[in-house]
Amino acid sequence: MTEPTNFLDFLSEHHKLPSFNLPTDAVSFVARSLTPTGDEQIEVKMSNGLEKALTQYSPGKEIIVKKKTYMSGGLYLDFPPRPTTEELADLAIQDRYNAQVDSVIDRFSYWFEKIEGDTQDSTLTWHHRCSTKSCQHTLESTRPKSETPEASELCEMCESGVFKTIPMLTPTGFAPLVRASDGSIVDVSQRENTEYRITTKWPTQIIGAIDENEIKFGEHLELRMVSGKTLVNINPGKGQIEEEDGFGFTFCKKCGSLSHDDLPSEHPRPYAIPFQDLNFCGIPKDTEEGRTAIRSFNERRVANCDHNSDPANTAIADGGELHRRLVLGRTFVTDVLVFRIPWDTDDFVSMDPAKGNTNTSQISALTLLRSLLEGVTGDTSLGLNISESDIDGDIRRYRHDDEEGWELYIFERSDGGIGLLQALFQMLRNRHDEFDLDNPLDFPVLGRALERLSGQNCTTQVPDATGKYITVRKRPCKHICSGCLLDYSTQYMEKDLDRTSGYHFLLYALYGEDFEQHLDTTMSDDQKNLHSLIQRLEGGETAEAIHGEGSIGVLNDGVEADIDLRPVTHVELSSIQYTVASPLLSVLPETSFSRDVLLNNPEQILTSLQQSGAVVQPEDLNELD
Amino acid sequence: MLSSSASRLSKAYLCGKMAQPYQGAPPLVSLTTSIDSTSVQADGNLRHALMEFYLNTIASQDLTLDGKQMKAMAKGENWDELYQFLESKNGPQSPLGNFSKLDCRKKLKKLRKTVNFLSKELRQFGEIKYIVAERSLKTGSAIQISDSVEIKSGEIDAVFVLENVKGKITVIVVDWKRSLSNKGSLEQYKRQCQVYIRCIKNEPSLLSLSLEQIKSADIHGFLFEVGGDEGTTPDFVKVDIIPADIDAFLEKAAEQYESTEATSGTHCSSWCRWAFADEYCRSITPDALSINFHSDSFWTELEFHSKWINSLTQFTTSIETVLEPGGKNVIHFNGGRELQLKNVNFHKTIPGNRVIRAEGSVKRQTSMLAYMHVKNLKVLHG
């Protein structure tokens, strides 16, 4: 027998009521302080949709209202639960009064008790994520580890990671910390504002399980539309869950305070406690027990909260394990457009690089995703009017039989979805016949992404004959630039993007193993850099940059400069051709070097050239003798 | 005459207790955290098996080493043959674990790098004349390798016999290792390799060579990395083969063969079943291990800086320390030095002055900060 539910709530939760893309999950930020006379004062009360509130109201975030700066410091409840009459009935009078005082002083103690005890309550759920940074496979179960056997096993996806299990709280509201002694808002001038980066995960139980209604583009790119999928938005605090340098919030179950660092035993509450709060507790002033309870209330309301480092107040228990940190988040149901591309396990760099190595696989997938997102929101000719506030995207790995790869998924941000992606998918399906591998640029979304990633929109600075840097358009940039991928929506993830890797991955998706044949002159600057490197080595002075036909890039109108815009195809030294290869490739011939190595570890190229005898070898070279 | 295996001899040489079979309760059960060591072992076994298949089935046919041949091993119809071979090696005890085609392809990519590198390096010794992998030392009778020791079982990971244009024969004996990051902890494996070389010298028929051929041949032993980090050159370590040194080792190993006395040293690791067992080895001390967080040398010597070294460590907490997922997980040492533990997937409050035994990859980031990716951790009894 399920619990009775309010009919309107039921309809709303199951997305049966029209929302007109407005948030139906408003979360408030309330600054509850005291006036000088000790009365309740609501300085600020405002609300936002849960998704936005997770980043804009979360602890550590500065909020400026009417020129006054507040900093969120914990959770807030408008109407905290209190002990029921039945619960109080069996208690002795003094205990009954004490329980009532407790519920007023510690507004969250009953609330935590309720959400921990109620398995149907979705306020406290659990997040199980593979701890391998390159994997992050997320389980579908929202139940604790003790009820999720697969969370105790090795990750099926990467086969090496173990799962991190983290309690996830859907916040009811947020509030700044309040000084207990006078009920004023705690001064924020000494504290550091925190910028949050929310992450979205698409948990899945069965690897590779996805509806089979795909449209295929080129050799490997499959596009699918799936509806009604449950996604998770997470605010993991200052650090990311996969970064291992600390994440989540410590918490006090008595007052709802949250902190990135260890929450001190004694700490301010995120609310003031006016004397009126006791008014509705029914504690009489004319009995000894009542007077004792009131005295206790008056002492405690002007003192800081103290959790005594007691796990009962600072941890959520599951199966004998204590969890002293939680993350904030929400689950939501939405429509998802999925681009699935396999990763070439045999020839590409590993999807699980060694510690400290660049994760080229992840970078290429994320870069491609961002360009596809731009392809959807930036192309007005689609006629769908999809804006950046409507959709977002992320990547996840998949594994299916003996294939592994990436799913680049774009989802509607509003809970329930409003059919924008469905319309887009239908349009792409209808126009699928128009897709031409010989001329993919004309096809919507993919063509736009390909053009951006190829560097056609980039702008670079190239030295002229005098060494002066001249702006050159339509010349691929080295990393990312404002012409291709860098904008306000990607600036926070700049280090995780690389235009070249994304471009090569899209070419691989379309053309398969032969993708390098479609690179044209886009790696010209890399070949030039290799030439410069080899020329600087002893014995490499005679290295020659071999030029191709045409030019790469154009000067701005009216600009004249003595500048060599010929593309470089490879470097020649002692009749041997040396090239820079795609960063995606792992096992290369002796005369080819990965772009990633050229940019991040050129010493390796030096060693390789020395070992092959192409340049002068140092005397103490370590070799088999 | 002592009759043994190379593995047991090298263990006995280093530590009597390590050489003894474990008879207590199942090890690792009381660990606060541990990465499943059997999966690491299975991973190593699978790499060995793939290398064995390649060398014995493919490379030995045309006597060349070529990574491209290895890539084809798990493709199309070839996979069936490889699968049958791996299944036959796996048996009921599953030493190779639950391998899949995808796993094999991933591992083969790493092994290809080793094969290509080895191919290039071996050219200096001439043409390959003979290749064998997992060469069994069972010849029907034990192989006497010193006055007091004979070998009756074991396998050599790989042997290559080469001949140059002048007719000079070179024998390369290889022991594959998953990692050679901690150069100080390889003594056991070097000793094993020395035993193999003695076996070949005394029983050249193992390689289809005559006694005369082996007498005039050059023999080299190497520990070779199978599958190091991507984009790096495979690492290798040359094994010394000074006869007097090998004799001394064999003599000491024979003397200590029945000893149960524990001797701590850089050989201590979770591969020793006593390291993290319920009845754990009490002889291990921080200063006997490759990395000692309590010593100044770890925080100052260049060899520990900015590279990951896999090592067993032991240290004492100075203050109460909370370890938890998502926490900072910092162990404090004298002078404000900090060790940050990563991969912590449990919650535990450890009081001050407790001895912790932990194994994992360690890197010193600065003179005050080091990281450790924890694979095994145990709080020892007070």
Mean pLDDT confidence for A520-543: 93
A586: contact with B, CB 8 A cutoff = yes
Read off the amino acid at residue A182.
D
Tell me the pLDDT of chain B averaged across its residues.
89
Residues A492/A359, Cβ–Cβ less than 8 Å: no
HEC-encoded secondary structure of A292-332: HHHHHHHHHHCCCEECCCCHHHHCEEECCEEECEEEEEEEE
CATH architecture group of domain B2-255: Alpha-Beta Complex (3.90)
Q: What does the pLDDT look like over A550-592, one tens digit per residue?
A: 888 888 888 888 888 899 999 999 999 999 999 999 888 889 9
**pLDDT band at A511; cut points 50, 70, 90:** very high
Taking the C-alpha atoms of residue B169 and residue B180, their distance in angstroms, rounded to an integer, is: 28
What pLDDT was estimated at residue A120?
83
Q: What is the pTM of this model?
A: 0.87
What pLDDT was estimated at residue A245?
64
Q: Which residues contact A431 (CB under 8 A, 6 or more apart)?
A: A443, A444
Residue linked to tokens 């990519």: B109
B222: contact with A, CB 8 A cutoff = yes
Three-class SS state of B364: strand
Could you say which of A309, A331, A357 is where a domain stops? A309
Cα angle for residues B272, A155, B89 (degrees, 5° grid)? 55
Name the residue facing A325 among B101, B124, B326 (closest C-beta): B326
Cα angle for residues A121, A251, A188 (degrees, 5° grid)? 125
Contact B231 A586 (CB under 8 A): yes
B319: contact with A, CB 8 A cutoff = no
Q: What does the pLDDT look like over A338-359, one tens digit per residue?
A: 999 999 999 999 999 887 788 9
List the one residue out of B313, B250, B325, B304 whose CA is nearest residue B12.
B250
CA separation, residue A527 to residues A347, A551, B276 (Å): 21, 15, 52
Taking the C-alpha atoms of residue B159 and residue A129, their distance in angstroms, rounded to an integer, is: 44
**Chain B residue nearest residue A132, CA to CA:** B343
Q: In CATH, which of 2.40.50, 3.30.70, 1.10.3470, 1.20.120 is domain B286-379?
A: 2.40.50
Q: What does the pLDDT look like over B299-335, one tens digit per residue?
A: 999 989 888 899 999 999 999 998 888 788 999 999 9
Mean pLDDT confidence for A422-427: 94
What pLDDT was estimated at residue A26?
86
Residues A327/A467, Cβ–Cβ less than 8 Å: no
Please determine, for residue B106, whether its predicted confidence score (pLDDT) is greater than 50.
Answer: yes
Picking from B340, B347, B350 by the largest number of A CB atoms within 10 A of its own CB, the best residue to mutate is B347
Contact B324 A355 (CB under 8 A): no
A317: contact with B, CB 8 A cutoff = no
**Number of CB pairs, chain A paired with chain B, less than 8 A apart:** 109
Taking the C-alpha atoms of residue A161 and residue B343, their distance in angstroms, rounded to an integer, is: 10
What pLDDT was estimated at residue B27?
45
Q: Which residues contact B56 (CB under 8 A, 6 or more apart)?
A: B131, B132, B133, B134
List the one residue out of B134, B195, B209 whose CA is nearest residue B8.
B195
Residues forming a β-bridge with A336: A226, A411
Name the residue facing B67 among A244, A587, A625 (closest C-beta): A587
Residues forming a β-bridge with B121: none
What pLDDT was estimated at residue A342?
96
Four-point Cα dihedral A586, A592, A596, A600, nearest 10: 130
Enter the tokens of residue B230.
């991507």
Three-class SS state of B220: strand
Please determine, for residue A194, whether its predicted confidence score (pLDDT) is greater than 70.
Answer: no
Complex ipTM: 0.83
Please determine, for residue A330, whether its predicted confidence score (pLDDT) is greater than 80.
Answer: yes
Tell me the pLDDT of chain A averaged across its residues.
88
Taking the C-alpha atoms of residue B104 and residue B74, their distance in angstroms, rounded to an integer, is: 7
Q: Which residues contact A574 (CB under 8 A, 6 or more apart)?
A: A542, A614
**Chain B residue nearest residue A360, CA to CA:** B230
A355: contact with B, CB 8 A cutoff = yes
Mean pLDDT confidence for A482-510: 92
Q: What does the pLDDT look like over A97-110, one tens digit per residue?
A: 999 999 999 999 99
What pLDDT was estimated at residue B358?
94
Give the sign of the dihedral formed by CA B11, CA B15, CA B18, CA B23. Answer: positive
CA separation, residue A583 to residues A485, A510, A589, A601, B107 (Å): 18, 17, 14, 13, 20
Could you say which of A271, A289, A309 is where a domain stops? A309
Indicate whether A282 belongs to any domain: yes
Taking the C-alpha atoms of residue A483 and residue A457, their distance in angstroms, rounded to an integer, is: 5
B229: contact with A, CB 8 A cutoff = yes
Distance from CA of B36 to the nearest CA of A (A): 8
Range of the domain at A101: 22-120+170-196+247-309
Q: What does the pLDDT look like over A368-420, one tens digit per residue?
A: 999 999 999 988 888 888 988 899 999 999 988 889 999 999 999 887 778 89
- Other CB atoms closer than 10 Å to residue A382's CB: what's the count? 18
**pLDDT band at A211; cut points 50, 70, 90:** low
Residues B290/B309, Cβ–Cβ less than 8 Å: yes
Taking the C-alpha atoms of residue A507 and residue A40, their distance in angstroms, rounded to an integer, is: 63
* A245 contacts in chain B (CB < 8 Å): 328, 340
Chain centre to alpha carbon of residue B222: 12
Mean pLDDT confidence for A280-298: 89
Enter the tokens of residue A574.
């002692």
Indicate whether A201 belongs to any domain: no
- Other CB atoms closer than 10 Å to residue A147's CB: what's the count? 13
Q: Any idea where the domains of chain B sit in the sequence?
A: 2-255, 286-379
Residue linked to tokens 């405002």: A46
Max alpha carbon distance in chain A (Å)? Answer: 104
**pLDDT band at B347; cut points 50, 70, 90:** confident
Read off the amino acid at residue A383.
G
Helices (H), chain B: 6-14, 16-19, 37-53, 60-62, 67-72, 78-90, 101-122, 187-202, 211-216, 243-255, 296-300
Query: What's the number of domains chain A is made of?
Result: 2
Backbone angles phi, psi at B325, to 5 degrees: -60, 135
Q: What does the pLDDT look like over B31-85, one tens digit per residue?
A: 344 445 567 788 889 999 999 999 999 999 999 999 999 999 998 889 999 999 9
Q: Which residues contact B127 (CB under 8 A, 6 or more apart)?
A: B63, B162, B163, B164
**pLDDT band at A202; cut points 50, 70, 90:** low
A603: contact with B, CB 8 A cutoff = no
What pLDDT was estimated at residue A370?
95
**pLDDT band at A244; cut points 50, 70, 90:** low
Contact B109 A154 (CB under 8 A): no
Q: What does the pLDDT look like over B111-141, one tens digit per residue?
A: 999 999 999 899 999 999 999 999 999 888 8
Contact A403 B102 (CB under 8 A): yes
Enter the tokens of residue B318.
């100075």
Backbone angles phi, psi at A314, to 5 degrees: -125, 5
CA separation, residue A13 to residues A7, A8, A16, A125, A421 (Å): 10, 8, 8, 17, 21
Say what angle helices A602-612 and A524-535 make with each other, to 10 degrees: 60
Enter the tokens of residue B39.
């999966």
Taking the C-alpha atoms of residue B111 and residue B121, their distance in angstroms, rounded to an integer, is: 15
Percent of chain B topping pLDDT 90: 64
* B326 contacts in chain A (CB < 8 Å): 164, 166, 237, 239, 241, 246-248, 325
Distance from CA of A350 to the nearest CA of B (A): 7
A623: contact with B, CB 8 A cutoff = yes
Read off the amino acid at residue A58.
S
Q: Where is average pLDDT lowest: A208-212, A444-448, A465-469, A586-590?
A: A208-212
Question: Judged by CB atoms within 8 Å, which residues 103-132 of A form the interface with B?
Answer: 131
A244: contact with B, CB 8 A cutoff = yes
Give the sign of the dihedral formed by CA A92, CA A96, CA A97, CA A101. Answer: positive
Could you say which of A257, A290, A309 is where a domain stops? A309
Four-point Cα dihedral B81, B82, B85, B88, nearest 10: -100
What pLDDT was estimated at residue B30?
37
Residue A594 has, within 13 A of its CA and on its CB side, a CA count of 21
B340: contact with A, CB 8 A cutoff = yes
What pLDDT was estimated at residue A15?
66
A463: contact with B, CB 8 A cutoff = no
Residues B11/B4, Cβ–Cβ less than 8 Å: no
What pLDDT was estimated at residue B26?
45
Between B216 and A241, residue with greater pLDDT: B216
Percent of chain A topping pLDDT 90: 52
Please determine, for residue A22, whether its predicted confidence score (pLDDT) is greater than 80.
Answer: no
Residues B40/B285, Cβ–Cβ less than 8 Å: no
Enter the tokens of residue B283.
């002889």
B236: contact with A, CB 8 A cutoff = yes
Residue linked to tokens 């709303």: A12
Name the residue facing A321 among B232, B347, B361 (closest C-beta): B347
Contact B105 A349 (CB under 8 A): no
Name the residue facing A350 among B39, B230, B342 (closest C-beta): B230
Contact B340 A322 (CB under 8 A): no
Three-class SS state of A487: coil
Three-class SS state of B216: helix
Residues A484/A448, Cβ–Cβ less than 8 Å: no
Enter the tokens of residue A239.
């650090």
* B222 contacts in chain A (CB < 8 Å): 624
What pLDDT was estimated at residue A273?
94
B24: contact with A, CB 8 A cutoff = no
List the one residue out of A231, A157, A196 whose CA is nearest residue A410.
A231
**Chain B residue nearest residue A597, CA to CA:** B231
Four-point Cα dihedral B342, B347, B353, B359, nearest 10: -40
Q: What does the pLDDT look like over A252-279, one tens digit per residue?
A: 999 999 998 889 999 999 999 999 888 8
What pLDDT was estimated at residue A191?
64
- Winning range, highest mean pLDDT, from A158-162, A197-201, A595-599: A595-599
Helices (H), A304-457: 311-314, 360-377, 420-430, 446-454
Q: What does the pLDDT look like over B181-234, one tens digit per residue?
A: 888 899 999 999 999 999 999 999 999 999 999 999 999 999 999 877 777 788
Buried b (16+ CB within 10 A) or exposed e, A401-439: eebbbbbbbbbbbbbbbbebbeebbeebeeeeeebeeee
What pLDDT was estimated at residue B22?
60
**pLDDT band at A625; cut points 50, 70, 90:** very low
Contact A402 B101 (CB under 8 A): yes
Q: What does the pLDDT look like over A52-72, one tens digit per residue?
A: 898 889 888 888 898 888 999
* B233 contacts in chain A (CB < 8 Å): 604, 607-608
Mean pLDDT confidence for A465-483: 90
Name the residue facing A355 among B101, B322, B373 (closest C-beta): B373
Residues A148/A141, Cβ–Cβ less than 8 Å: yes
Q: What is the DSSP letter of A27?
A: E
Enter the tokens of residue A355.
């510690």
